[in-house]
Amino acid sequence: MLQIKSRKLINLRTLYRPTQPTIKAENRDISYLEIQPDPYIEKFIYCFWQLKTKLPLGVPYTYRVVSDGCIDIFFSAKKSAENFVMGFCRKYTEFSIGKEFNYIGIRFLPSAFPILFGIDARSLSNQSQELIKILPELSQWISTAFNPSCSFENVTNRLNERFKQIIQQKPVNPDQRFLKALSLIFDKKGFLDLENDIDTGLSPRQLRRVFNHFIGTSPKAFCNVVRFQHILNAKPSKESLKENRFYLDVGFFDQAHFIKDFKNFYGVTPSQAFS
């Protein structure tokens, strides 16, 4: 049954790679790791991630999360009762997370969280909330399933099994017109005419409504994030940005427009990000 229902959900991970900045070399006492989920749940979850200190830091660390179009659940490995959900963000977000930490997260592919849990993504956008207020049963399970001695691998194994159970218990019936629109946006790297290039049977008003529900923002705002993520995945250097100016290929009018949007999504200029 699950396999039949899951065929209705496009495997978005083949179309889109939501990327977060890597930890810079000078931060050698901090590690960031990603583990891919079990193939059984990969249409919903892009990765499990861990951000942790290897040694206590001299000063509190500020972690920057850039716009990626995803919804994340995250919790402290040392105190898993502290678990949260973070919705779609229109701009970068910074967190001061102290001198010693070990956070583990679940990054859902765009639209997967609302499809799986029936939550309106708009209620989560541009904020972090306690998971117990959104999904109390899952929050309570996370609170009791892990202890501070669990390895990241052990945690992800348990998360894989838990989400297999969740998916088995819930029907997956996404709006195919919405999924087709989402696929077109990914295929065009976010650079398309929303009025004319998305012919899925949804009117512009309907398209805005379903995007607000499943993504947490308008189609236009989501396209801007997809363009930004396309540039991140290209991993340009400062030199190649100046010479090739490939940001023009995805609809930025000029360098000033590109820099302004990039800084909004990343928190620093392209030159600083790719130095």
**Taking Cα atoms as reference points, which of 188, 255, 263, 197 lies closest to residue 223?**
188
Question: Cα(106)–Cα(181) distance, rounded to whole angstroms?
Answer: 25
Q: Which of 27-36, 136-145, 214-223, 228-237 is predicted least confidently?
A: 228-237
Same domain, 6 and 125: yes
**The pLDDT of residue 234:** 85
Q: Which of 19-23, 57-61, 163-167, 224-228 is predicted least confidently?
A: 19-23
Question: Cα(227)–Cα(208) distance, rounded to whole angstroms?
Answer: 18
Residue-wise pLDDT for 149-168, tens only, equals 999 999 999 999 999 999 98
Show which of 169, 194, 215 is a domain's final residue.
169
Show which of 169, 192, 220 is a domain's final residue.
169
Q: In the numeric block, which tokens belong to residue 136?
A: 């109390």
Task: Give the model's confidence band at 275: pLDDT under 50 very low, under 70 low, under 90 confident, else very high.
Answer: confident
Same domain, 130 and 200: no
Same domain, 161 and 198: no
Same domain, 50 and 139: yes
**With 50 as the cut, is the pLDDT of residue 7 above it?**
no
Same domain, 52 and 165: yes
Residue-wise pLDDT for 73-128, tens only, equals 999 999 999 999 999 999 999 999 999 999 999 999 999 999 999 999 999 999 99
For residue 226, the domain's CATH number is 1.10.10.60
pTM for this model (two decimals): 0.92
φ, ψ of residue 42 in degrees (nearest 5)? -70, -15
Question: Cα(65)–Cα(238) distance, rounded to whole angstroms?
Answer: 21
**The pLDDT of residue 171:** 75
Same domain, 105 and 219: no
Same domain, 93 and 141: yes
Task: Give the model's confidence band at 193: pLDDT under 50 very low, under 70 low, under 90 confident, else very high.
Answer: confident
Question: Cα(164)–Cα(182) distance, rounded to whole angstroms?
Answer: 24
Tell me which residue range forms the domain holding 183: 176-273
**The pLDDT of residue 194:** 86
**The pLDDT of residue 170:** 80
Strands (E), the chain: 30-35, 45-53, 62-65, 71-76, 83-86, 93-96, 102-108, 128-130
Show which of 169, 189, 212 is a domain's final residue.
169
Q: Which of 23-27, 59-63, 94-98, 221-225 is predicted least confidently?
A: 23-27
**With 80 as the cut, is the pLDDT of residue 189 above it?**
yes
Task: Give the model's confidence band at 2: pLDDT under 50 very low, under 70 low, under 90 confident, else very high.
Answer: very low
Q: In the numeric block, which tokens belong to residue 217?
A: 């923002």
Same domain, 209 and 110: no
Same domain, 125 and 199: no
Same domain, 92 and 10: yes
Number of domains in the chain: 2
Mean pLDDT, all residues of the chain: 90
Q: Which of 45-49, 91-95, 136-140 is predicted least confidently?
A: 91-95
Same domain, 37 and 144: yes
Mean pLDDT of 260-264: 93
**The pLDDT of residue 200:** 86
**With 70 as the cut, is the pLDDT of residue 1 above it?**
no
Same domain, 51 and 77: yes
Task: State how far the alpha carbon of 82 is from the alpha carbons of 76, 104, 132, 137, in Å.
Answer: 6, 11, 9, 14
